[in-house]
Amino acid sequence: MKTFAALVAVCALTLTHPAQAALRHDRLWTAAQAEAPKALETLKALVNIETPSREVGGMAELGDLLAGRLTDLGAQVEKIPAIAPAHGSVIVGRFTGTGQAKILLIAHMDTIYPAGSLAKRPFKIEGGRAYGPGIADDKSGVTVILHSLAALKTQGFCRYGQLTVMFNTDEEQTSVFSGKIVTDLAGKADVVMSFEPSTVGLEIIPRAAAGNGETRVIVTGRAAHAGAEPERGRNALVEAADIVLKTRDLDDPAKGFRFNWTQMTSGTIRNQIPDQAVISADTRHMSKAVLDDKLAQLAERLKMPLVPDTTARVDYRPGRPGYVADPPSNALIDKAVAIYNEVGGALTPVPAMTASSDAGYAQVSGKPVIEGFGLPGYGYHSSEEEYVDLTRMAPRIYLTARMIMELSGR
Ligand SMILES: [Zn+2]
Protein backbone atom coordinates (compact mmCIF):
# COMPACT_ATOMS: atom_id res chain seq x y z
CA MET A 1 0.00 0.00 0.00
CA LYS A 2 2.89 2.28 0.74
CA THR A 3 4.12 1.83 -2.81
CA PHE A 4 0.71 2.52 -4.21
CA ALA A 5 0.57 5.75 -2.24
CA ALA A 6 4.01 6.71 -3.49
CA LEU A 7 2.98 5.99 -7.07
CA VAL A 8 -0.16 8.08 -6.73
CA ALA A 9 1.85 10.93 -5.28
CA VAL A 10 4.30 10.86 -8.19
CA CYS A 11 1.52 10.57 -10.75
CA ALA A 12 -0.37 13.41 -9.14
CA LEU A 13 2.72 15.52 -9.39
CA THR A 14 2.99 14.68 -13.07
CA LEU A 15 -0.60 15.50 -13.80
CA THR A 16 -0.99 18.67 -11.83
CA HIS A 17 2.40 20.36 -11.85
CA PRO A 18 3.89 21.51 -15.13
CA ALA A 19 7.00 22.16 -13.03
CA GLN A 20 7.47 18.38 -12.77
CA ALA A 21 10.04 18.54 -15.54
CA ALA A 22 12.19 20.56 -13.18
CA LEU A 23 12.78 17.35 -11.25
CA ARG A 24 14.47 16.00 -14.30
CA HIS A 25 18.23 16.21 -14.53
CA ASP A 26 18.24 17.96 -17.88
CA ARG A 27 21.92 17.64 -18.70
CA LEU A 28 21.83 13.93 -17.93
CA TRP A 29 18.69 13.48 -20.02
CA THR A 30 20.42 15.19 -22.95
CA ALA A 31 23.42 12.90 -22.44
CA ALA A 32 21.19 9.82 -22.26
CA GLN A 33 19.48 10.79 -25.50
CA ALA A 34 22.87 11.31 -27.14
CA GLU A 35 23.95 7.84 -25.96
CA ALA A 36 20.87 6.05 -27.34
CA PRO A 37 22.02 5.73 -30.99
CA LYS A 38 25.47 4.61 -29.82
CA ALA A 39 23.82 2.09 -27.51
CA LEU A 40 21.89 0.70 -30.46
CA GLU A 41 25.20 0.15 -32.27
CA THR A 42 26.54 -1.63 -29.19
CA LEU A 43 23.42 -3.77 -28.98
CA LYS A 44 23.88 -4.78 -32.60
CA ALA A 45 27.54 -5.68 -32.03
CA LEU A 46 26.66 -7.79 -28.98
CA VAL A 47 23.84 -9.65 -30.74
CA ASN A 48 26.13 -10.35 -33.69
CA ILE A 49 28.44 -12.39 -31.45
CA GLU A 50 26.58 -15.60 -30.69
CA THR A 51 26.98 -16.60 -27.06
CA PRO A 52 25.06 -19.69 -26.09
CA SER A 53 26.33 -20.68 -22.64
CA ARG A 54 28.56 -23.41 -24.09
CA GLU A 55 29.93 -21.49 -27.08
CA VAL A 56 33.61 -21.15 -26.23
CA GLY A 57 34.69 -18.98 -29.18
CA GLY A 58 31.82 -16.51 -29.06
CA MET A 59 32.08 -16.15 -25.31
CA ALA A 60 35.80 -15.32 -25.52
CA GLU A 61 35.16 -12.79 -28.28
CA LEU A 62 32.38 -11.06 -26.36
CA GLY A 63 34.43 -11.10 -23.15
CA ASP A 64 37.30 -9.35 -24.94
CA LEU A 65 34.95 -6.78 -26.42
CA LEU A 66 33.37 -5.97 -23.05
CA ALA A 67 36.70 -5.87 -21.24
CA GLY A 68 37.86 -3.35 -23.84
CA ARG A 69 34.74 -1.23 -23.44
CA LEU A 70 35.08 -1.15 -19.66
CA THR A 71 38.74 -0.24 -19.93
CA ASP A 72 37.89 2.59 -22.32
CA LEU A 73 35.35 3.87 -19.80
CA GLY A 74 38.10 3.99 -17.17
CA ALA A 75 37.72 0.70 -15.32
CA GLN A 76 40.34 -1.65 -13.95
CA VAL A 77 39.31 -4.92 -15.54
CA GLU A 78 39.73 -8.39 -14.12
CA LYS A 79 38.97 -11.57 -16.06
CA ILE A 80 38.09 -14.61 -13.99
CA PRO A 81 38.32 -17.76 -16.16
CA ALA A 82 35.19 -19.86 -15.80
CA ILE A 83 35.29 -23.53 -14.92
CA ALA A 84 33.24 -26.05 -16.92
CA PRO A 85 30.37 -26.37 -17.52
CA ALA A 86 30.71 -22.59 -17.74
CA HIS A 87 32.94 -21.08 -20.45
CA GLY A 88 34.76 -17.86 -21.17
CA SER A 89 35.61 -15.48 -18.36
CA VAL A 90 33.60 -13.53 -15.85
CA ILE A 91 34.40 -9.89 -16.60
CA VAL A 92 34.69 -7.58 -13.61
CA GLY A 93 35.30 -3.86 -14.11
CA ARG A 94 36.03 -1.56 -11.18
CA PHE A 95 35.71 2.23 -11.28
CA THR A 96 37.10 4.19 -8.39
CA GLY A 97 35.43 7.47 -7.56
CA THR A 98 35.74 10.21 -4.98
CA GLY A 99 32.89 9.20 -2.67
CA GLN A 100 31.92 6.38 -0.35
CA ALA A 101 29.12 4.39 -1.99
CA LYS A 102 29.90 0.95 -3.34
CA ILE A 103 27.55 -0.03 -6.14
CA LEU A 104 27.48 -3.34 -8.04
CA LEU A 105 25.89 -3.64 -11.50
CA ILE A 106 25.35 -7.15 -12.93
CA ALA A 107 24.24 -8.56 -16.29
CA HIS A 108 24.99 -11.72 -18.25
CA MET A 109 26.67 -12.46 -21.57
CA ASP A 110 25.19 -15.87 -22.36
CA THR A 111 21.95 -16.63 -24.18
CA ILE A 112 19.75 -19.70 -24.52
CA TYR A 113 20.01 -19.79 -28.31
CA PRO A 114 22.15 -22.50 -29.96
CA ALA A 115 24.88 -21.49 -32.40
CA GLY A 116 23.38 -20.84 -35.83
CA SER A 117 20.28 -19.08 -34.49
CA LEU A 118 21.61 -15.72 -35.64
CA ALA A 119 21.77 -16.87 -39.27
CA LYS A 120 18.07 -17.76 -39.09
CA ARG A 121 17.07 -14.61 -37.23
CA PRO A 122 19.64 -11.91 -37.94
CA PHE A 123 19.69 -8.60 -36.14
CA LYS A 124 17.13 -6.21 -37.59
CA ILE A 125 15.34 -3.00 -36.73
CA GLU A 126 11.67 -2.59 -37.50
CA GLY A 127 9.18 -0.05 -36.24
CA GLY A 128 10.98 1.06 -33.11
CA ARG A 129 12.02 -2.46 -32.21
CA ALA A 130 15.32 -4.28 -32.57
CA TYR A 131 15.26 -8.04 -33.04
CA GLY A 132 17.86 -10.77 -32.52
CA PRO A 133 18.66 -13.82 -30.40
CA GLY A 134 19.31 -12.78 -26.81
CA ILE A 135 18.77 -9.10 -27.60
CA ALA A 136 16.59 -8.53 -24.54
CA ASP A 137 17.98 -11.27 -22.32
CA ASP A 138 20.47 -10.06 -21.63
CA LYS A 139 22.40 -8.11 -24.22
CA SER A 140 20.10 -5.19 -23.50
CA GLY A 141 21.19 -5.31 -19.86
CA VAL A 142 24.87 -5.23 -20.80
CA THR A 143 24.20 -2.36 -23.22
CA VAL A 144 22.27 -0.25 -20.71
CA ILE A 145 25.11 -0.62 -18.20
CA LEU A 146 27.82 0.41 -20.67
CA HIS A 147 25.96 3.45 -21.96
CA SER A 148 24.72 4.61 -18.57
CA LEU A 149 28.34 4.69 -17.49
CA ALA A 150 29.23 6.53 -20.69
CA ALA A 151 26.49 9.09 -19.99
CA LEU A 152 27.84 9.59 -16.46
CA LYS A 153 31.33 10.00 -17.85
CA THR A 154 30.17 12.81 -20.13
CA GLN A 155 28.93 14.55 -16.97
CA GLY A 156 32.28 14.05 -15.28
CA PHE A 157 30.39 12.19 -12.57
CA CYS A 158 32.48 10.13 -10.16
CA ARG A 159 30.88 10.77 -6.78
CA TYR A 160 30.57 7.04 -6.10
CA GLY A 161 33.23 5.29 -4.04
CA GLN A 162 33.53 2.15 -6.09
CA LEU A 163 31.38 1.17 -9.01
CA THR A 164 31.76 -2.49 -9.94
CA VAL A 165 30.39 -4.08 -13.11
CA MET A 166 30.14 -7.84 -13.47
CA PHE A 167 29.25 -9.74 -16.66
CA ASN A 168 28.99 -13.53 -16.27
CA THR A 169 28.76 -16.29 -18.86
CA ASP A 170 26.59 -18.94 -17.22
CA GLU A 171 23.44 -17.19 -16.03
CA GLU A 172 21.35 -19.40 -18.31
CA GLN A 173 22.98 -22.39 -16.62
CA THR A 174 21.80 -21.17 -13.23
CA SER A 175 25.18 -19.46 -12.68
CA VAL A 176 26.69 -22.76 -11.55
CA PHE A 177 30.15 -21.24 -11.66
CA SER A 178 29.58 -17.52 -11.18
CA GLY A 179 26.86 -17.58 -8.51
CA LYS A 180 29.43 -17.46 -5.75
CA ILE A 181 31.24 -14.59 -7.44
CA VAL A 182 27.98 -12.63 -7.57
CA THR A 183 27.43 -13.24 -3.87
CA ASP A 184 31.01 -12.26 -2.99
CA LEU A 185 30.95 -9.06 -5.04
CA ALA A 186 27.55 -8.16 -3.58
CA GLY A 187 28.97 -8.67 -0.11
CA LYS A 188 31.61 -6.01 -0.82
CA ALA A 189 29.00 -3.59 -2.19
CA ASP A 190 26.38 -1.46 -0.45
CA VAL A 191 23.75 -2.06 -3.11
CA VAL A 192 23.25 -4.23 -6.19
CA MET A 193 21.42 -3.43 -9.42
CA SER A 194 20.64 -6.35 -11.72
CA PHE A 195 19.96 -5.81 -15.42
CA GLU A 196 17.67 -8.57 -16.58
CA PRO A 197 15.17 -7.33 -19.18
CA SER A 198 11.86 -5.78 -18.27
CA THR A 199 8.64 -6.28 -20.24
CA VAL A 200 7.23 -4.30 -23.17
CA GLY A 201 4.09 -2.26 -22.70
CA LEU A 202 3.68 -2.54 -18.95
CA GLU A 203 7.27 -2.18 -17.77
CA ILE A 204 7.45 -4.24 -14.63
CA ILE A 205 9.98 -4.10 -11.82
CA PRO A 206 9.78 -7.20 -9.61
CA ARG A 207 9.72 -7.22 -5.82
CA ALA A 208 10.56 -10.93 -5.84
CA ALA A 209 11.93 -13.58 -8.19
CA ALA A 210 11.58 -17.32 -7.94
CA GLY A 211 14.19 -19.73 -6.77
CA ASN A 212 14.77 -22.51 -9.25
CA GLY A 213 16.00 -26.02 -9.56
CA GLU A 214 15.74 -29.21 -11.54
CA THR A 215 13.52 -32.10 -10.54
CA ARG A 216 14.71 -35.39 -11.98
CA VAL A 217 12.89 -38.66 -11.80
CA ILE A 218 14.98 -41.74 -12.51
CA VAL A 219 12.90 -44.73 -13.59
CA THR A 220 14.38 -48.22 -13.49
CA GLY A 221 12.80 -51.17 -15.30
CA ARG A 222 14.16 -54.31 -16.91
CA ALA A 223 15.75 -54.71 -20.35
CA ALA A 224 14.58 -57.36 -22.79
CA HIS A 225 14.65 -58.00 -26.55
CA ALA A 226 11.94 -55.77 -28.01
CA GLY A 227 11.01 -58.24 -30.73
CA ALA A 228 11.72 -61.70 -29.29
CA GLU A 229 10.46 -61.39 -25.73
CA PRO A 230 9.24 -57.89 -24.87
CA GLU A 231 6.94 -59.36 -22.19
CA ARG A 232 9.97 -60.11 -20.06
CA GLY A 233 10.95 -56.46 -20.07
CA ARG A 234 9.74 -53.68 -17.79
CA ASN A 235 9.60 -50.60 -19.97
CA ALA A 236 11.08 -47.63 -18.13
CA LEU A 237 10.22 -45.27 -21.00
CA VAL A 238 6.52 -46.11 -20.82
CA GLU A 239 6.55 -45.67 -17.06
CA ALA A 240 8.32 -42.32 -17.40
CA ALA A 241 5.75 -41.16 -19.95
CA ASP A 242 2.97 -42.05 -17.52
CA ILE A 243 4.70 -40.13 -14.74
CA VAL A 244 4.91 -37.07 -16.99
CA LEU A 245 1.20 -37.19 -17.74
CA LYS A 246 0.03 -37.82 -14.21
CA THR A 247 2.16 -35.12 -12.56
CA ARG A 248 1.64 -32.17 -14.88
CA ASP A 249 -0.89 -30.74 -12.45
CA LEU A 250 1.82 -30.19 -9.83
CA ASP A 251 2.41 -26.93 -11.71
CA ASP A 252 0.64 -24.38 -9.52
CA PRO A 253 1.06 -20.73 -10.57
CA ALA A 254 -1.39 -19.55 -7.90
CA LYS A 255 1.13 -20.67 -5.28
CA GLY A 256 4.07 -19.26 -7.24
CA PHE A 257 5.16 -22.79 -8.08
CA ARG A 258 6.10 -23.74 -11.65
CA PHE A 259 6.73 -27.34 -12.53
CA ASN A 260 7.15 -28.29 -16.18
CA TRP A 261 8.66 -31.42 -17.74
CA THR A 262 11.19 -30.37 -20.34
CA GLN A 263 13.56 -33.29 -20.99
CA MET A 264 13.40 -37.06 -21.25
CA THR A 265 16.15 -39.54 -22.07
CA SER A 266 15.75 -43.26 -22.39
CA GLY A 267 16.93 -46.26 -24.36
CA THR A 268 20.19 -46.93 -26.13
CA ILE A 269 19.00 -48.96 -29.11
CA ARG A 270 15.72 -49.48 -30.95
CA ASN A 271 15.36 -53.22 -30.45
CA GLN A 272 15.62 -53.33 -26.67
CA ILE A 273 12.97 -52.54 -24.06
CA PRO A 274 14.71 -49.76 -22.11
CA ASP A 275 15.54 -50.44 -18.48
CA GLN A 276 16.11 -46.82 -17.57
CA ALA A 277 14.55 -43.42 -18.24
CA VAL A 278 15.37 -40.03 -16.80
CA ILE A 279 12.88 -37.19 -16.96
CA SER A 280 13.61 -33.67 -15.91
CA ALA A 281 11.30 -30.84 -14.90
CA ASP A 282 12.16 -27.16 -14.70
CA THR A 283 11.08 -26.21 -11.18
CA ARG A 284 10.56 -22.75 -9.69
CA HIS A 285 9.28 -21.75 -6.30
CA MET A 286 8.51 -18.64 -4.31
CA SER A 287 8.21 -20.58 -1.05
CA LYS A 288 10.39 -23.40 0.26
CA ALA A 289 7.38 -24.88 2.10
CA VAL A 290 5.42 -25.14 -1.17
CA LEU A 291 8.41 -26.70 -2.90
CA ASP A 292 8.80 -29.33 -0.17
CA ASP A 293 5.09 -30.10 -0.26
CA LYS A 294 5.08 -30.53 -4.04
CA LEU A 295 8.14 -32.79 -4.03
CA ALA A 296 6.46 -34.91 -1.38
CA GLN A 297 3.36 -35.16 -3.58
CA LEU A 298 5.52 -36.20 -6.52
CA ALA A 299 7.22 -38.95 -4.51
CA GLU A 300 3.83 -40.18 -3.32
CA ARG A 301 2.51 -40.52 -6.86
CA LEU A 302 5.52 -42.60 -7.91
CA LYS A 303 4.50 -45.35 -5.52
CA MET A 304 1.83 -46.70 -7.88
CA PRO A 305 3.59 -47.47 -11.18
CA LEU A 306 1.67 -48.12 -14.39
CA VAL A 307 4.31 -50.64 -15.48
CA PRO A 308 4.60 -53.28 -12.74
CA ASP A 309 8.01 -53.89 -11.17
CA THR A 310 9.44 -50.55 -12.25
CA THR A 311 10.79 -48.21 -9.60
CA ALA A 312 11.20 -44.45 -9.68
CA ARG A 313 13.04 -42.06 -7.43
CA VAL A 314 13.12 -38.26 -7.22
CA ASP A 315 16.38 -36.34 -7.35
CA TYR A 316 15.84 -32.61 -6.74
CA ARG A 317 18.80 -30.40 -7.59
CA PRO A 318 18.48 -26.90 -6.16
CA GLY A 319 19.61 -24.11 -8.45
CA ARG A 320 19.55 -20.40 -7.92
CA PRO A 321 18.23 -18.97 -4.67
CA GLY A 322 15.06 -16.90 -4.78
CA TYR A 323 14.93 -13.14 -4.35
CA VAL A 324 12.55 -11.20 -2.15
CA ALA A 325 12.96 -7.44 -1.82
CA ASP A 326 13.57 -6.43 1.80
CA PRO A 327 12.51 -2.96 3.05
CA PRO A 328 15.70 -1.20 1.86
CA SER A 329 15.32 -2.85 -1.57
CA ASN A 330 11.67 -1.84 -1.74
CA ALA A 331 12.65 1.74 -0.96
CA LEU A 332 15.08 1.63 -3.90
CA ILE A 333 12.34 0.25 -6.16
CA ASP A 334 10.17 3.21 -5.18
CA LYS A 335 13.07 5.53 -5.98
CA ALA A 336 13.46 3.93 -9.42
CA VAL A 337 9.75 4.43 -10.11
CA ALA A 338 10.08 8.12 -9.27
CA ILE A 339 13.23 8.62 -11.35
CA TYR A 340 11.80 6.91 -14.42
CA ASN A 341 8.79 9.16 -14.15
CA GLU A 342 11.06 12.19 -14.51
CA VAL A 343 11.46 11.31 -18.18
CA GLY A 344 7.87 10.22 -18.69
CA GLY A 345 8.50 6.54 -18.00
CA ALA A 346 6.26 4.30 -15.93
CA LEU A 347 7.67 1.39 -13.96
CA THR A 348 5.13 -0.93 -12.39
CA PRO A 349 6.32 -2.84 -9.34
CA VAL A 350 4.89 -6.37 -9.29
CA PRO A 351 4.87 -8.74 -6.32
CA ALA A 352 6.92 -11.40 -8.10
CA MET A 353 8.25 -12.83 -11.33
CA THR A 354 8.50 -16.59 -11.75
CA ALA A 355 11.71 -16.27 -13.75
CA SER A 356 14.75 -16.64 -11.54
CA SER A 357 17.78 -14.37 -11.74
CA ASP A 358 21.16 -13.61 -10.23
CA ALA A 359 19.38 -11.15 -7.94
CA GLY A 360 18.94 -14.27 -5.79
CA TYR A 361 22.69 -14.90 -5.54
CA ALA A 362 23.26 -11.21 -4.88
CA GLN A 363 20.75 -11.18 -2.06
CA VAL A 364 22.46 -14.03 -0.25
CA SER A 365 24.94 -11.28 0.75
CA GLY A 366 22.20 -9.53 2.74
CA LYS A 367 22.62 -6.31 0.76
CA PRO A 368 19.76 -4.41 -0.92
CA VAL A 369 19.18 -5.68 -4.45
CA ILE A 370 16.98 -4.36 -7.27
CA GLU A 371 16.20 -6.14 -10.54
CA GLY A 372 14.89 -5.47 -14.03
CA PHE A 373 17.05 -2.60 -15.35
CA GLY A 374 17.59 -4.02 -18.86
CA LEU A 375 15.41 -2.84 -21.73
CA PRO A 376 11.75 -3.77 -22.01
CA GLY A 377 11.78 -6.87 -24.17
CA TYR A 378 9.54 -9.59 -25.54
CA GLY A 379 9.88 -13.20 -26.62
CA TYR A 380 12.86 -14.21 -24.52
CA HIS A 381 12.95 -17.92 -23.66
CA SER A 382 10.19 -18.60 -26.19
CA SER A 383 10.05 -19.68 -29.82
CA GLU A 384 8.85 -16.22 -30.81
CA GLU A 385 11.19 -13.60 -32.15
CA GLU A 386 12.93 -11.79 -29.32
CA TYR A 387 12.92 -8.00 -29.48
CA VAL A 388 13.47 -4.88 -27.41
CA ASP A 389 11.56 -1.59 -27.41
CA LEU A 390 14.06 0.95 -28.72
CA THR A 391 11.92 3.90 -27.65
CA ARG A 392 12.92 3.08 -24.08
CA MET A 393 16.67 3.15 -24.69
CA ALA A 394 17.30 6.76 -23.62
CA PRO A 395 14.88 6.62 -20.64
CA ARG A 396 16.52 3.40 -19.40
CA ILE A 397 20.01 4.87 -19.71
CA TYR A 398 18.79 7.92 -17.80
CA LEU A 399 17.18 5.71 -15.14
CA THR A 400 20.35 3.76 -14.42
CA ALA A 401 22.64 6.77 -14.52
CA ARG A 402 20.35 8.74 -12.19
CA MET A 403 20.04 5.78 -9.82
CA ILE A 404 23.84 5.67 -9.61
CA MET A 405 23.89 9.40 -8.88
CA GLU A 406 21.26 9.01 -6.16
CA LEU A 407 22.96 5.97 -4.63
CA SER A 408 26.24 7.88 -4.56
CA GLY A 409 24.74 10.46 -2.22
CA ARG A 410 25.18 14.19 -2.27
ZN1 LIG B 1 18.62 -13.31 -18.33
Q: For residue range 144-198, what is the model confidence (pLDDT) as tens digits?
A: 999 999 999 999 999 999 999 999 999 999 999 999 999 999 999 999 999 999 9
Domains of the chain: 2-209+323-407 (3.40.630.10), 211-318 (3.30.70.360)
Q: Is the dihedral of CA 19, 20, 23, 25 positive or negative?
A: negative
Q: Quote the crossing angle between the two packed helices 393-407 and 26-47, to the nearest 10°.
A: 120
Residues annotated as part of the active site: 110, 171
If you count them, how many residues does the chain have? 410
Centroid of ligand 1 to alpha carbon of 16 (angstroms): 38
Q: In the prediction, which pLDDT does 335 show? A: 96
Question: What values do phi and psi take at 368, rounded to 5?
Answer: -60, 140
User: Rounded CA gap, 13 and 76, in Å?
Assistant: 42
The kind and range of the H/E element at 397 are helix 393-407
- What is the Cα 370 distance to its own chain's centre? 12
- Cα of 108 from ligand 1 centre, angstroms: 7
Q: Ligand 1: distance of its center to the CA of 21 in Å?
A: 33
CA of 126 to the centre of ligand 1 (A): 23
Q: How far is the CA of 64 from the centre of ligand 1 (A)?
A: 20
Residue 83 per-residue DSSP state: -
Q: Quick check: 149 and 71 in contact, CB under 8 A?
A: no
Q: What is the model's pLDDT at position 89?
A: 97
Q: Exposed, middle or buried, 6 (CB in 10 Å: 0-12/13-18/19+)?
A: middle
Q: Name the helix (H) or strand (E) containing 388.
A: strand 387-389
What pLDDT is recorded for position 288? 84
Asked if residues 107 and 374 have their Cβ atoms less than 8 Å apart, the reply is: yes
In b/e form, how buried is each residue of 131-161, taking b as 16+ CB within 10 angstroms?
Answer: bbbbbbbbbbbbbbbbbbbbbbbeeebbbbb
CA 43 to chain centre: 17
| Residue stretches of the chain with pLDDT short of 70 | 1-22, 410
**Residue type (1 letter), 202:** L
Residue 112 Cα to ligand 1 midpoint, Å, equals 9
144 with 52: CB under 8 angstroms? no
Tell me how far the alpha carbon of residue 139 lies from the centroid of ligand 1, in angstroms.
9
Q: Cα of 95 to ligand 1 centre, how many Å?
A: 24
Yes or no: say if 15 and 83 are a contact pair by the CB < 8 Å rule: no
Answer for the pair 168, 90: CB distance below 8 angstroms, yes or no: yes
Sign of CA dihedral 24, 27, 33, 36: negative
Could you tell me the distance, in angstroms and rounded to a whole number, from the CA of residue 234 to the centre of ligand 1? 41
